[in-house]
Amino acid sequence: RKRARGADVMLRAGCEVVRRVASRGATAARVQGSAATKSALAAPVARSGVVPRADVAIHNCCSTRGFAGASAASSGHGHGHGGSGDTTETIDVTFHEKDGSVTTVKAPIGQSMLEVAHRNDIELEGACEGSLACSTCHVIINSTQVYDSLPEPDDDENDMLDLAFGLTETSRLGCQVFASKEIEGMVLSLPKATRNFYVDDFVPKPH
């Protein structure tokens, strides 16, 4: 019996030693595995210089704010510092009207004298609305130099001018004379009468 008990004690002691050794081995293996995992994760970062996710988010946020600020600074200095209003170029044109009054107006570059007159309540007719079908926008240019600087009238304009009342050497149709720098300061006279199908004292509406 004493021998059996001794053997049992030795067997239990041996099992306890084996259990502890096995437990230590498992713990060491877990520690080594964790260390290996950390090393594996850190190695690509060290090689490539890639910032961890949290740092990347912070970096991107700051970079975005900085870019937005720079863009605002370079694209107009904020609100209220953009364009400086209407920059359409104009020239001065003077109309001698039928009643003897003289009116000087600003004519936008590229706009016809018929349009300029209507926009400034000057009684230059224009029954065909600039379609070269009448002579009611007949004007007389007061300077031969200015007249000569204009493009020559085409056949359609000449045909209508032949029907105009009070035709002169410097007559043109207002719908065919366009504002340009070359005619800055031009002076126009409106004939005392026009030939059209409207009744007397008709006042055309602006286009």
Average pLDDT, the chain: 73
Cα–Cα distance between 138 and 16 in angstroms, integer? Answer: 124
**Ranges in the chain, pLDDT < 70:** 1-86, 196-207
Dump pLDDT digits (tens) for 97-155. 999 999 999 999 999 999 999 999 999 999 999 999 999 999 999 999 999 999 999 99
Which pLDDT score, from 0 to 100, does residue 198 have? 45
The answer to whether the beta carbons of residues 126 and 115 sit under 8 Å apart is no
User: SS3 for the chain, per residue?
Assistant: CHHHHHHHHHHHHHHHHHHHHHHHHHHHHHHHHHHHHHHHHHHHHHHHCCCCHHHHHHHHHHHHHHHHHHHHHHCCCCCCCCCCCCCCCEEEEEEECCCCCEEEEEEECCCEHHHHHHHCCCCCCCCCCCCCCCCCCEEEECCHHHHHHCCCCCHHHHHHHCCCCCCCCCEEEHHHCECCHHHCCEEEECCCCCCCCCCCCCCCCCC
The answer to whether the beta carbons of residues 90 and 107 sit under 8 Å apart is yes
The answer to whether the beta carbons of residues 137 and 173 sit under 8 Å apart is yes
Cα–Cα distance between 123 and 28 in angstroms, integer? Answer: 106
